Amino acid sequence: MSELPPLPDLAEGLCSALAATPQLVRHLQIVHASALMLTDGLRQRFPDLAFDREAVLTGAAIHDLGKVLHPNEIDGPGRLHERDGPSFLQAQGLEPKVARFARTHAEWEGEAIEDLLVAFADTVWKGQRLDALEQAFCRVIAAKVGISDWEAWSAVDELACEICLKLSGWI
């Protein structure tokens, strides 16, 4: 089994400074790896698709750091980390445009493509498929590159399967 790609320096520093548990760090690494594969795969399939790759990778690497405030949500249910995460991360020095991913990874409706990408990366790694998220994501891709929703879905579905297969070797 190969190692997961390292987190971006910003996320690594925050994990260390906030004493994030190994379980939380591992989750962030997995979602970050999923986002890496997702953004690379999208660039290969849709070279003209515009999105901020670094924002997606950073968002994936910090999206659940609000769980430091609510440690019971690290291995249990809860949404308080989504509510409190953005302000907590802003208090750690993150700009609101970065800290937002703590909320939008779960509340992605009507958000930018970068938010949809982080939400998708956070679900697809575990083989979970959310129809509403995929439909929204594919509609945005289709509109941005001038293809049908079905063509976008077909490419995203293939990519999701590739990500699951690859990540199954890491988790």
Q: What is the pLDDT of residues 7-36, one digit of tens each?
A: 999 999 999 999 999 999 999 999 999 999
| CATH class for the region spanning 9-167 | mainly alpha
Question: 157: pLDDT confidence band, cut at 50, 70 and 90?
Answer: very high
Structure tokens of 14? 């925050």
Question: 38: pLDDT confidence band, cut at 50, 70 and 90?
Answer: very high
- For Cα atoms 111, 11, 119, give the angle at the middle one, nearest 5 degrees: 25
Mean pLDDT of the chain: 94
Question: Is the pLDDT reported for residue 1 higher than 60?
Answer: no
Cβ atoms 129, 163 nearer than 8 A = no
Q: How many CB atoms lie within 10 A of CB 161?
A: 12
Q: What is the pLDDT of residues 49-105, one digit of tens each?
A: 999 999 999 999 999 999 999 999 999 999 999 999 999 999 999 999 999 999 999
Residue of 138, 161, 164, 168 lying closest to 46 (CA atoms): 138
Residue type, 160: A
Q: How many CB atoms lie within 10 A of CB 47?
A: 8
